[in-house]
Amino acid sequence: MTNNAELNEINNKLIDLELAKSDNKTKVRKFLPAFVLMASMYYSLLLGVGLVLGYLGAKLFAKYFVESGKVDCIYINIGQNYKIHLHHWITGAIFLAVVWFIDYFYLPSIFVGVVAGIIAHDIYDYNDWHKVLIKNETK
């Protein structure tokens, strides 16, 4: 009976992930990454390379670990009624802010680009990136 419950839980998580994926069919969603990449390459080649590496790394990680069920999404319970979903855009922004605060004068462009690429992956590829506070399901 436990295996059946675990399989149902994994199946529900995979369905939620599939529903959260973006279709990326609009013109803006097709050309926005190109404009962002061109602007970042103009600013700094290392920033642009970091953006690409961070985005592709996050995409591969999501495909091989999150979608296969090897890694779960991070939720923090707040009381009994709500939980916070720590998307990787939130954790990336917090991480970047902490590193910037610790070492303000030397923050490598490629490092900022990689973290920004991870943040961009969540916002660009998933439709639920703005759903942070989630109501717990009643059992």
Cα(116)–Cα(47) distance, integer angstroms: 9
The predicted-structure confidence for 86-128, as pLDDT tens digits, reads as follows: 888 888 899 988 988 888 777 888 888 899 999 888 888 887 7
The predicted-structure confidence for 19-65, as pLDDT tens digits, reads as follows: 555 555 666 666 666 666 777 676 788 888 888 899 999 999 888 88
Q: Please report where in the chains the tokens 């999404």 appear, as a residue.
A: 73
Residues 91/18/137/69 CA torsion (nearest 10 deg): -70
Cα(37)–Cα(53) distance, integer angstroms: 12
Q: What is the pTM of this model?
A: 0.67
For the sheet with 75-78, list strands across it. Answer: 75-78, 82-85, 133-135
Structure tokens at 94: 């917090």
